[in-house]
Amino acid sequence: MEKARFNSRAVIPAVTAVVALVFIGVGLTDFGFWEGQPTAAFFPIIIAAVLLATSLLCLVQVLRGKEAPPVYNRNELMVILGGGGVIVGCWVVGLILSCLLYLFLWLKFVEHAAWKAILVIEVFMAALILGVFVLWMQVQFPMGLFAYLM
């Protein structure tokens, strides 16, 4: 019998299993599950239990599989890095500026777009985000640390 190998396909199921365990643990210890009626953590605990079960099943399937480890190209890794950059940027400059910065960097350095096209797209996206989500729907986006410094 061939030994199961842990590759990058197993990372997501392993991480989601840990997240599910954290949600279950925090839900049970801090909020309880049932006290005469469902508590605030009732549905999150159920969802976390389902997430744990599916994560473990997926992890077993990946570890038993005979597929070769995936090969990633540069653009796939750039998307992952960009997503991480948006998350970090949310804490620093806020979600809107972080997304607009990501869009600018992607258009300039990955797509090699012209400055005019970048400017038009950035202005359109800023107007769309601010007009539709902030003014019309009144969505409160995270503002980041700079909002507290001003």
For residues 120-130, give the mean pLDDT. Answer: 96
Q: What is the mean pLDDT of residues 35-53?
A: 92
> Residue 108 pLDDT > 90, yes or no?
yes
Residue 50: predicted pLDDT: 97
Among 64, 90, 110, the domain boundary falls at: 64
Co-location of 56 and 112 in the same domain: no
> Which of 64, 82, 104 marks a domain boundary?
64
Instruction: Report the Cα–Cα distance between both ends of the chain, in Å, rounded.
Output: 63
**pLDDT surpassing 70 at residue 1:** no
- Residue 3, in any domain of the structure: no
Report the candidate in 141, 24, 17 with the shortest Cα–Cα distance to residue 89. Answer: 141
Distance of CA 97 to the CA centre of its chain: 17
| Residue where a domain stops, chosen among 64, 87, 105 | 64
pLDDT at 124: 97
Name the pLDDT band for 150 (thresholds 50, 70, 90). Answer: low
Q: Looking at residue 91, what is its pLDDT? A: 92
Residues 102 and 39 in one domain: no
d(CA 111, CA 122): 14
Position 60 in a domain: yes
Q: What is the pLDDT of residue 19?
A: 95
Indicate whether 53 and 97 sit together in one domain.
no
Per-residue pLDDT at 31 exceeds 70 = yes
Residue 69 in any domain: the answer is no
pLDDT at 100 over 60: yes
Q: Are residues 22 and 85 in the same domain?
A: no
Domain count, the chain: 2
The answer to whether residue 78 scores a pLDDT higher than 80 is yes
Mean pLDDT value across the chain: 90
pTM, entire model? 0.62
**Pair (83, 37) in one structural domain:** no
Boundaries of domain holding 103: 74-149
